[in-house]
Structure 1
């Protein structure tokens, strides 16, 4: 490796060794293996989510022409490290009697689902954060996300599985807040663009995420069949709408891969809060349609108008891929909950309906505000010299972290 590239031998390996040693020491209080892997019927659903988070999101983030190794490699590293930390945080909360113990695969599944917030956030800082910064961000974000969930569950009485599905909201806005504290890349930096090959790999990851998303929304839900059906229909409608809107909004009437690999997932994000409770499939289909619309139009407007004005740095577009559809899903869940409760109560107790709506809105506002505030603080912490901040000239470059024996042949 050329001398102008720094070596991470004195930081990353020792940080990983320290963290893994601490995790090993703390894991002696975990339940026996026979308890952890029961019931066995839960394992296929868990593997679906595992494939989605590791393989799907790993390739989904391969949008940059010279950052493919880091996109998939760092994603895998953060997940395997974060899942261990997440399991221990779950066990610690049980020890503090903040939540009830869930022995079995459900605890491991909750840990993997929680890591989705970190994966989404890493997409916002893609190519800018060093491995040390990403590891620190993972640990901090996981802890804050669990704190946010505890607030929603304890004070606002949000069901356990719904607090976990706030990963889209929390991850998107935490990542946007973190990346806003990073220096802006030079305007003419060629490494920050994509190529047909990188977009093809990203689309491959999108397809994997799309296929396994029904399992993601239903793995912890009580009404699994309804969640699977509604999620699949919402995803199907959002995919059709993505192709339609992509052709309508492009200058030459052709499809844009950026629109497709973002908007086809919007339906799954939008119905995540309501997939288990929707009784009529056409409602899920409408939500999938609206989610795709807000994603395509959001990417069209945000990248040209709001991002330059607000100086938002969003490398892989997590705002309009996950953030905006999650906000739409939050609003839809409040409306559907009020309508359902109103029909059941025949609109006699308006004060009760108002209280329910206020609590639901408060839960989403608390999640977003906590993510933004703590994300700004985390971004400031990540940019101290101790954490090996990357110079802006080395953004979006695999060569800064990985060995390339074939570099002379034309990297």
Structure 2
């Protein structure tokens, strides 16, 4: 066992090293300029689905060379054709690039792009068709169009300017005097990315496009920069709130097990510290979806993954050796990313990107974590565990209530972290209202069903409103949020009081923290409730999301539990003394 622990530690250190060797700079998505003077691209650039050999910073020093090959943006899925992207700033801005390019064959082109998705983008490219010209082409909601201006320049400046819902394109010989190519109005790009392209519809030719620099500038006295910086600070604040939930909230919520307080807190520490860099590293490699920039958004996504991991861990808490928690996390992260990819990024073509309503993760985070955990406990519960009760006392339950209150306080930030800037306040307020309603209904339900207040119900079911409102928090009304939270609290108490004993007997597994009652059922409730609460929800897709998540979570949980069980079982479940030095305390 000591050898296994040593191997895991070495693996983790190596993982951290790879992550930070890849890039130590954290790039906020602010105004930006790259003169391509280095030997490698800055981390804020994303190369999407292209061969690295098609891009070079050394063949023409001081320039980024894109070797344009036989591709065209309109011929096949646009996502397969873009070379380089980075996230565009909020507000109004312009992008400028200086390009040296001499197209010889028809349809050879290179230039700059403002890209929302495969059906919505605007390009400005130096191009050769029947004549030499600069072309501003676009696709807006599947409607294509283009306008051109004649030029024979091989070295020129290209500029796209976004102002409100309008975009204009222009070119210049000196970067000062500009010739307008086209002006487009009525665009509704919410999350535009910006970047460079180079492609060629000729099947047997290539052409080199050399970019001297790429620059993003604000319009209107730096308003875009100020807004961007403010939003980034806002996201950072929410990320710290989420971290408080992970470490203090979940950590203390799980110390209700009387003799396993140190184990619960330490397992939380280890799981979060392992999952966050592990997820960020895999995301930087484009595993299950597009490569993510090394910035605050990727950190928040990693925190969501860690939250789901802690939910799963609550199911088998106290029955794994400390090193086995790391093994479980090692298997959990790619499993979670697979489901996240299917739900949110059109993985396998099952759910169109952006169509699943799940802002605060009722489905992707809570439901997945709960049923992954149930899959693990089916393989990791022994007969001895059934005969051994899970003890708690006044002190352990007081700590658990502290954890519950920390989670309650920061849950609005958790749900709002992934919401649009214009929807953050709505998401936060609806989350608070849902939590309030769940707390009241938990008190009523535990009193009616149990005849007296059961503190475990109050510590857990009061949070069910936050779980259930997650999907529709940014899309519904305060009244609906109150109703959903009230129902979720009652459902969770029924789960703890009536459903859990029967479920554990049926699956022959012990759910230590009752994650099925707090995260599983309320997660499903929230995912399905979005059908009625969010006007943009597609009923079939919401149902499909819930069903697919359940299947993926159970299957990957069973597989992970099987692997973890190969490393043995604890001799004394729910007891710190097996792994901690306690004599001197």
TM tier relative to shorter chain: 0.7 to 0.9
What's the offset of the Cα at 1:128?
0.7
The equivalences for 1:59-208 within 5 A come to 59-93=252-286, 98-99=289-290, 101-152=292-343, 153-154=345-346, 155=349, 156-159=351-354, 162=358, 165=361, 166-182=364-380, 183-190=382-389, 192-208=390-406
Kept in 2: contact 1:36–1:105 (CA 8 A):
no
Match of 1:5 in 2: none
What's the offset of the Cα at 1:52?
0.6
1:32 to 16, 21, 25: 25
1: CA distance between counterparts of 2:378 and 2:325? Answer: 15
Q: Report which of the two structures shows the higher radius of gyration computed on alpha carbons.
A: 2
2: CA distance between counterparts of 1:136 and 1:48? Answer: 27
1: CA distance between counterparts of 2:579 and 2:453? Answer: 34
Residues 320-356 of structure 1: CA distance to partner in whole angstroms, max 9, x if unpaired? 011010011111012334xx35xxxxxxxxxxx9xx3
TM-score normalised by L of structure 1: 0.86
1: CA distance between counterparts of 2:256 and 2:384? Answer: 16
Determine if the alignment matches structure 1 residue 318 to structure 2 residue 518.
no
Distance 1:163-1:40 versus aligned 2 partners, 3 A rule: closer
Report the secondary structure of 2:320's partner residue: coil
Q: Which runs of 4+ in 1 moved over 4 A?
A: none
Determine if the alignment matches structure 1 residue 246 to structure 2 residue 446.
yes
The equivalences for 1:249-398 within 5 A come to 249-250=449-450, 253-278=451-476, 280-337=477-534, 340=535, 356-384=538-566, 387=567, 389-391=568-570, 393-398=571-576
2:411 to 213, 231, 247: 213
1: CA distance between counterparts of 2:359 and 2:333? Answer: 13
What's the offset of the Cα at 1:100?
5.7
What's the offset of the Cα at 1:30?
3.3
2: CA distance between counterparts of 1:297 and 1:194? Answer: 20
Residues 164-208 of structure 1: CA distance to partner in whole angstroms, max 9, x if unpaired? 711101100000110111223344425x21111111111110010
Report the secondary structure of 1:11's partner residue: helix
Structure number with higher relative contact order (C-alpha < 8 Å, ≥ 6 residues apart): 1
Residues 3-62 of structure 1: CA distance to partner in whole angstroms, max 9, x if unpaired? xxxxx5433243112222133124322361354897333221111111011111000111
2: CA distance between counterparts of 1:24 and 1:32? Answer: 14
Report the secondary structure of 1:33's partner residue: coil
14-23 vs 63-72, greater mean Cα deviation: 14-23
Report the secondary structure of 1:180's partner residue: helix
Distance 1:86-1:161 versus aligned 2 partners, 3 A rule: farther
1: CA distance between counterparts of 2:305 and 2:527? Answer: 18
Q: Which has the higher helix share?
A: 1
Distance 1:178-1:187 versus aligned 2 partners, 3 A rule: closer
Kept in 2: contact 1:82–1:115 (CA 8 A):
yes
Kept in 1: contact 2:500–2:517 (CA 8 A):
no
Kept in 2: contact 1:124–1:179 (CA 8 A):
yes
1:12 to 5, 22, 35: 5
2: CA distance between counterparts of 1:199 and 1:137? Answer: 27
TM-score normalised by L of structure 2: 0.61
Distance 1:130-1:163 versus aligned 2 partners, 3 A rule: farther
Kept in 2: contact 1:113–1:164 (CA 8 A):
no
Q: Which has the higher strand share?
A: 2
Kept in 2: contact 1:98–1:150 (CA 8 A):
yes
Kept in 2: contact 1:263–1:296 (CA 8 A):
yes
Determine if the alignment matches structure 1 residue 22 to structure 2 residue 30.
no
Q: Cα RMSD over matched residues?
A: 2.2
2: CA distance between counterparts of 1:50 and 1:334? Answer: 30
Report the secondary structure of 1:79's partner residue: helix
Q: Which runs of 5+ in 2 are unaligned?
A: 31-228
